[in-house]
Structure 1
């Protein structure tokens, strides 16, 4: 039986309690929240989480040009490690077990220097952050992004390579089915190749909408997740098809990502579990 979360990033600027109440209403096991602890503290989440008995599974890190593990500017690299450590502290305070990590700033698609040097910087920064995470009972999840959002780690085999080079129990690989639908030839096979390294899963269809809204076949994906004995959480990270994603979300212009997709996503996946005879699915 899989455990499910929903990334509250897509709820935009609505009050925190409304989003958490929505997750509780539709039977989610966890909330997944954005890692900006200087903007919204753990205490601000605490009351709503307690009211609805909703734990936090994971913290999604936001990688801006000032948060780039492979920047040619050493101050930016240091700032990025500090940001990840801050999200680890945030996770530990909330009881979350996962913090996401991607080595480049989002939408940075060209290296600044030799790519092998950037890879080495990424490994070094991830190793420092992973040790900090391990010391605080948290695990980093290294997420590949597709070629239109990054250039260094695009596929799951690249994430596996980097995690193996970091060689620390405080980091594992992350599978995101949207990115994988662009970059990985065989999504279930890639998940199986991760094996025990699999630390976190993001679910979204080929168009980044709720499962069932695109062309991905999630049955073999669920089978692969089951086959590697994954014990973590599967979180829906859904985003609108728009050039200005943040403007759409902040402006409340994607209402389908509220109740409609929050409800349909978990129902769709639980129906797949039921069809596969997975235990305790009703």
Structure 2
């Protein structure tokens, strides 16, 4: 398994949003021992993709791309303008991803992040069907850029539509588009899944991306995540993708508030990255 797994880190660990100037992080990320840098495309127009691509090459790093939809972008909303906002944002993100030679983008693209409320069964069905229809269109846009889309379940505090591996697989079956895959995030899984091993094996070969932190969003290995179950699950589905450490800096107040980080999770973010990577390599290199 160790020969197939790459390890990455999200630039969200240090800053937000990602801009062209964020490439200053790349030498440090490479020196720490990461293979992949995860680039969250909050605003793709802040990025000179040619410069970022050169910096990736210069530092021997590969990219993974993360995309989310905010309040003005929602594939489940009533207003069709919200769908168009999603499609336009996605096109700009796909353009960057393609230029950086990524093969997929990952994220909870089925609905706006933070849309979590007690909706009626009837309303939930309506919104599920909107997501099915619009994700089919999004998948078609992605195919034009030769990109797969890895859908990520979120915890109940961030989404009321897709929280589990079972739900994301049902969504993919309902859409029936080959280019729709799955990204699993250990943080959300520790909140929502009954059994992390079973969740991973349920997804099987649809799993093309993995994100991790601890159950408290801190350094991997310092919390309650059942890491041996996690490693066995990835091994048994023959996972050959990247394991990306994703957490967030409390120094960026807007970002910290968005993800509910109210205290420091490490003495500094570099320590977070180094200790986390050491643990992940030890855990998944069996």
Q: Is residue 62 of structure 2 the alignment partner of residue 55 of structure 1?
A: yes
Question: Partners of 1:174 and 1:247 in 2: how far apart?
Answer: 22
Runs of 4+ in 1 over 3 A off after TM superposition: 240-245, 253-257
Which stretch of structure 1 is more off in the superposition, 112-121 or 125-134?
A: 112-121
Helix, strand or coil for the counterpart of 2:215? coil
Question: Partners of 1:119 and 1:242 in 2: how far apart?
Answer: 36
Partner of 2:45: 38
Helix, strand or coil for the counterpart of 1:149? coil
Question: Partners of 2:82 and 2:257 in 1: how far apart?
Answer: 29
Q: Is residue 253 of structure 2 the alignment partner of residue 264 of structure 1?
A: no
How far does residue 241 in structure 1 lie from its aligned partner after superposition? 7.5
Q: Is residue 89 of structure 2 the alignment partner of residue 89 of structure 1?
A: no
- Structure 1 contact 239–245 (Cα < 8 Å) conserved: no
Q: TM-score, normalised by structure 2?
A: 0.87
Question: Partners of 1:19 and 1:66 in 2: how far apart?
Answer: 30
**1:41/1:243 CA distance change after superposition, 3 Å:** closer
Q: Is residue 231 of structure 2 the alignment partner of residue 222 of structure 1?
A: yes
Q: Deviations over 1:191-238 (max 9, x none)?
A: 000011112111111001121121112122011111111222111111
Q: Is residue 155 of structure 2 the alignment partner of residue 146 of structure 1?
A: yes
Structure 1 portions without partners, runs of 5+: 277-282
Helix, strand or coil for the counterpart of 1:4? strand
- Structure 1 contact 37–87 (Cα < 8 Å) conserved: yes
How far does residue 257 in structure 1 lie from its aligned partner after superposition? 5.6
Question: Partners of 2:73 and 2:268 in 1: how far apart?
Answer: 27
Question: Partners of 1:196 and 1:116 in 2: how far apart?
Answer: 27
What does residue range 99-114 of structure 1 map to in structure 2 within 5 Å?
99-102=105-108, 103-110=110-117, 111=119, 114=123
How far does residue 247 in structure 1 lie from its aligned partner after superposition? 5.2
How far does residue 167 in structure 1 lie from its aligned partner after superposition? 1.3
Question: Partners of 2:141 and 2:257 in 1: how far apart?
Answer: 35
Partner of 1:69: 75
**1:241/1:23 CA distance change after superposition, 3 Å:** closer
Structure 2 portions without partners, runs of 5+: none
Partner of 1:5: 8
The CA RMSD over aligned residues, in Å, is 2.4
How far does residue 28 in structure 1 lie from its aligned partner after superposition? 1.0
Q: Is residue 244 of structure 2 the alignment partner of residue 238 of structure 1?
A: no
Helix, strand or coil for the counterpart of 1:181? helix
Partner of 2:145: 136
What does residue range 157-236 of structure 1 map to in structure 2 within 5 Å?
157-236=166-245
Question: Partners of 1:17 and 1:88 in 2: how far apart?
Answer: 19
Question: Partners of 1:244 and 1:199 in 2: how far apart?
Answer: 31
- Structure 1 contact 69–81 (Cα < 8 Å) conserved: no
**1:55/1:263 CA distance change after superposition, 3 Å:** same
How far does residue 119 in structure 1 lie from its aligned partner after superposition? 0.6
- Structure 1 contact 20–49 (Cα < 8 Å) conserved: yes
Helix, strand or coil for the counterpart of 1:114? helix
Partner of 2:84: 78
Helix, strand or coil for the counterpart of 2:126? helix
**1:209/1:259 CA distance change after superposition, 3 Å:** same
- The number of aligned residues is 271
